[in-house]
Structure 1
Amino acid sequence: MIRRTFLLAGAALAMTAAVSPARARDQWTKAQANSWHAKQPWQVGANYTPATAINQLEMFQAETWDPQRIDLELGWAAAMGMNVMRVNLHHLLWETDAAGLKRRMDEFMTIAAKHKIKTLWIFFDSCWDPNPVAGPQHPPIPGVHNSGSVQSPGADRLKDASQYGKLEAYVKDLVTTFAKDDRVIGWDIWNEPNNGGGGHYTPTKDKNKYVALLLPRFFAAARAADPVQPLTSGVWIGEHWDDQTKLDAVEKIQIRESDILSFHDYSWAEKFEVRAKQMLSYGRPVWCTEYMARGNGSTFDNTLPIAKKLNIAMYNWGFVDGKMQTRFPWDSWKKPYTYEEPTIWFHDILHFDGKPYRQAEVDLIKRLAAAPKGVVPASGK
């Protein structure tokens, strides 16, 4: 296993270093991207936060770091055939304890690698609370979906040009540290960058203008470290992803800059297939980095077989039911489920004790993961 030696001695310098786009490596060509992807197994996994953490800050801060729980849960993932996990980071983790964050990223990947799982790291996220604060996180709001998730960089940093160099340095430092590490499957630069936020939070004014300014700089910061892993950022709204005239400024950057294209889809199988083929029309490999919302029509049984045939990597939302409470649907922000459970779980695969919510789903994931690329075995085979 190839690993990059930690650059702890340079952490203080990295805190203030700006990144020049001229130093960045080029985007992979389509041929390079397809050649790399052809060597990978079909990827199937989840967006991962341990059940004991409400968000990425609680997951990675020293006081609440829980490697034993992570080891237990990733063992469950491996047993059902999962081989990748998509994991959120946060700039505040790096700013408050860069060395500690890198140690815990390394420990996470050591645990994951023991279970033959690779990691897709996310740097920034435009969803949910726009005012992140490091330190102890509030407890879950009873009955509410994802009540503790926080944005990065958040509303204030997004508009503060004096902070941009530090945000670029955060990206470059982490990619530099793990640029040759074969436990990393890729780098997701910004999750749903043009998302207004969600929940009951006030959307950041002119958010897309700032995102369109920063997103290319963050791609450049990652490429400046010359990683052997691909970069991506996934589109998530719209009906015509194969038509550049229908894309907003942020989406055009995502497609222009990504080595491997990615998208999110929480809809019925028919729409998933249309969106998947729109993304494949660019001639690059494609990953679906979020899907599976049972109450919205997106399920394992109707979506995973399509993706397997098309060799699209699949990362469902949610794994073990816990403090993020994503078994509750999105509408729980308006109507908290404080006196009842949802009729069906919205996300998540396992109960806190590892028991499957639906055994048939676990069996399907395992069966598809075991089959050769592009092959969808008959049920029960």
Structure 2
Amino acid sequence: MKRLFVFILLFSATLSLAQQSEPGRWSAAKANAWYAKQPFLVGSNYIPANAINELEMFQAASFDPATIDKELALAEGLGMNTMRVFLHDLLWKDSAGFTKRLDQFLGLCARHKIKPMLVLFDSCWDPHPKLGKQRAPQPGIHNSGWLQSPGADALADPAQYKRLEAYVKGVVGAFKNDNRILAWDMWNEPDNGNDNSYGQNHLKTELPKDQKIALATKLLPQVFQWARAAGATQPLTSAPWIFNGTHDWSNPAKWTAMEKVQFENSDIITFHQYSTTQDLEKIIPILQKMGRPVICTEYMARGVNSKFQTHLPIAKKAKVGMINWGFVAGKTQTFLPWDSWQKPYVNGREPAVWFHEVFKQNGTPVDPAETAAIKQATGK
């Protein structure tokens, strides 16, 4: 009887582990072997200063290799070796042209010794993307023209999922063996309800939050499957991002349905952390207990005490890659804080402390002490 009880326990544990191993997911050993070959990863979430969103960055009429080359040279000068770069499903309408421009972008990255992480989808900001000329920034507002991918209409319409599948398989398949790419990020903040922008404020153009999260939670596992079916040789990931008292990442029983999808499908563990050094030191060991490489794909917001000087040394000691939000100030206006949606910085008003960005638009550092800290971390 005792042997039978032990067998049942062992079988249950094995079954649990099997259930956590999604089809095609890298083993922890493979992920760690990949990570062992990487340098200390440091970079930014990157968009050129003259682009307001993903479409303006990559559409034929506004793609600007000269500006990208100039700005990536600044990154190389700091010793940055990666960038997180957002794509968009609507770009696949011109699949040949987009593939050519993305290849050109990757060539510019390689010239500057940078291997980007490419993001396929994003649940943040404007839920109604459209191809063509993009609108001008709204004065005084943080990220006033950034676009969701897929937009609300496509997310709520299963008839469009075949188009989304074609995009994922097409772009991943085109670059599946390209060693200029560090990794693929399947979906940025998929359960972000845009509460402070298009969700709860006067715009109210967002899907109902519960509906949006339910749809994204059901679609994200398919996105992982599509990328794997396309033959990606680079690791896949999607980052949990809500770190507070109600989201306990140390206990799988307390993961949300979305966090469960993200943690159990990701080859490498990524996360976002706009908070203090104490919170960073708390979360790193929790994530590292999952036995896989850990990379922070968003941090550095001066107004909430997330900074280069404080966070990079902690991460480097723990061998956790760090990718901050913002590089050169420009049309995204992410030097303004999130609450600028409620209190726009107009009539000459600017925040006393810039929220994001490493460089001003003229190419000078926002704070020379910060660029010195980045160089110290990268050994430049």
TM over 0.5: yes
Aligned to 1:334: 342
Aligned to 2:264: 256
Query: What are the residue-to-residue correspondences of 1:206-217 with 2, within 5 Å?
Result: 206-217=211-222
1:36 Cα offset (Å): 0.7
Distance 2:367 2:143 in 1: 21
User: Structure 2, unaligned stretches of length 5 or more?
Assistant: 1-21, 200-205
Distance 2:197 2:302 in 1: 23
Choose which of 223, 235, 239 in structure 2 pairs with 1:234.
Answer: 239
Aligned to 1:375: none
Identity percentage of aligned residues: 51
Deviation larger for 196-205 or 126-135: 196-205
1:279 Cα offset (Å): 1.2
Choose which of 216, 219, 223 in structure 2 pairs with 1:218.
Answer: 223
The amino acid that maps onto 2:311 is: T
Query: What are the residue-to-residue correspondences of 1:274-353 with 2, within 5 Å?
Result: 274-338=282-346, 339-353=348-362
The amino acid that maps onto 1:342 is: P
Query: What are the residue-to-residue correspondences of 1:142-291 with 2, within 5 Å?
Result: 142-202=139-199, 203-205=206-208, 206-239=211-244, 240-291=248-299
**Deviations 1:171-223, CA, capped at 9 Å, x for gaps:** 11111111111100000000000000244313422111111111000000000
Distance 1:325 1:299 in 2: 18
Residue 51 of structure 1 contacts residue 322 of structure 1 at CA under 8 Å; is this kept in 2? yes
SS where residue 118 of structure 1 aligns? coil
Residue 262 of structure 1 contacts residue 286 of structure 1 at CA under 8 Å; is this kept in 2? yes
Aligned to 2:202: none
**Deviations 1:4-38, CA, capped at 9 Å, x for gaps:** xxxxxxxxxxxxxxxxxxxx961000111001100
Distance 1:311 1:125 in 2: 27
Choose which of 44, 51, 54 in structure 2 pairs with 1:53.
Answer: 51
Distance 1:341 1:303 in 2: 25
Structure (1 or 2) with the larger CA radius of gyration = 2
The amino acid that maps onto 1:308 is: K
**Deviations 1:141-172, CA, capped at 9 Å, x for gaps:** 11111100110101111111111111011111
**Deviations 1:42-69, CA, capped at 9 Å, x for gaps:** 1100000000000011000111111000
The amino acid that maps onto 1:344 is: V
Distance 2:158 2:230 in 1: 22
The amino acid that maps onto 2:358 is: I
The amino acid that maps onto 1:150 is: L
**Deviations 1:76-95, CA, capped at 9 Å, x for gaps:** 00001100000000001112
Residue 127 of structure 1 contacts residue 198 of structure 1 at CA under 8 Å; is this kept in 2? no
Residue 316 of structure 2 contacts residue 377 of structure 2 at CA under 8 Å; is this kept in 1? yes
TM-score (norm 2): 0.89
Aligned to 2:4: none
User: Structure 1, unaligned stretches of length 5 or more?
Assistant: 1-23, 372-381
SS where residue 43 of structure 2 aligns? strand
Q: How many equivalent residue pairs?
A: 347
Choose which of 357, 361, 367 in structure 1 pairs with 2:370.
Answer: 361
Structure 1 vs Structure 2 CA RMSD:
1.2
The amino acid that maps onto 1:360 is: A
TM-score (norm 1): 0.89
Distance 1:128 1:279 in 2: 28
SS where residue 138 of structure 1 aligns? coil
Aligned to 2:28: 30
